[in-house]
Amino acid sequence: MEYIKTKIEGVWVLEPKVFNDQRGYFFEAFKQAEFDEHIGHHVDFIQDNESKSSYGVLRGLHYQRGGFSQAKLVRVIKGKVVDVAVDLRKSSPTFGKYVMVELSDENKRQFFIPRGFAHGFLVLSEEAIFTYKVDNVYAPQCEASIRWNDETIGVEWPIDVKEVLLSDKDQNKGLAFKDAEVFE
């Protein structure tokens, strides 16, 4: 596995070594000791989640507040998405900045997002199956989101906004970045 630093400290892109032959392919998707060594600390993933979405679905920008913040290791097992991590760590030099990476079943990349970030993704293929490991349980009382189209953050989503499909929650309940609860 190759670990690629991004422009935001703590956020990584992971590229597996894929072994292809006439039967198909094989790769190691996760190895705890290697992961911890490259990330620089132990992350105890306790749950795996999966979602299926169609073209134009945008999920995000979500995060959990306080002690229920989550680190995530995400990947796409079918289709293609752009994935975004927004730095909500007030003491960070990249506070309010984001990193975007394309994840697909073809590139088999993974994206590590530490605690203290909002996260979202947009489906670019007809359908996508998205999976992620988390290091903390979901706590509905600590759930929060920032508007997907917040002007301060300025995420440059790669499709026409008229094609974006949102849940009611993402359409109507996301906060402006300036009003969001951030991490110290």
β-strand 80-87 against 58-64: which pairing, if any?
A: unpaired
Choose the catalytic residue: 62, 63, 98, 119.
Answer: 62
62 labelled catalytic: yes
The answer to whether residues 77 and 131 touch, using CB atoms and an 8 Å cutoff, is yes
Residues 6+ apart with CB under 8 A from 14: 1, 2, 3, 4, 73, 109, 110, 111, 112
The answer to whether residues 125 and 104 touch, using CB atoms and an 8 Å cutoff, is yes
> What value, to the nearest 5°, has the Cα angle with vertex 89 and ends 80 and 4?
45
Choose the catalytic residue: 63, 98, 119, 132.
Answer: 132
42 labelled catalytic: no
Amino acid at 79: G
Q: Three-state DSSP class for 67?
A: helix
Residues 6+ apart with CB under 8 A from 179: none
> CA-CA distance, 57 to 39, in Å (whole number)?
30
The answer to whether residues 64 and 136 touch, using CB atoms and an 8 Å cutoff, is yes
Residues identified as active-site: 62, 132
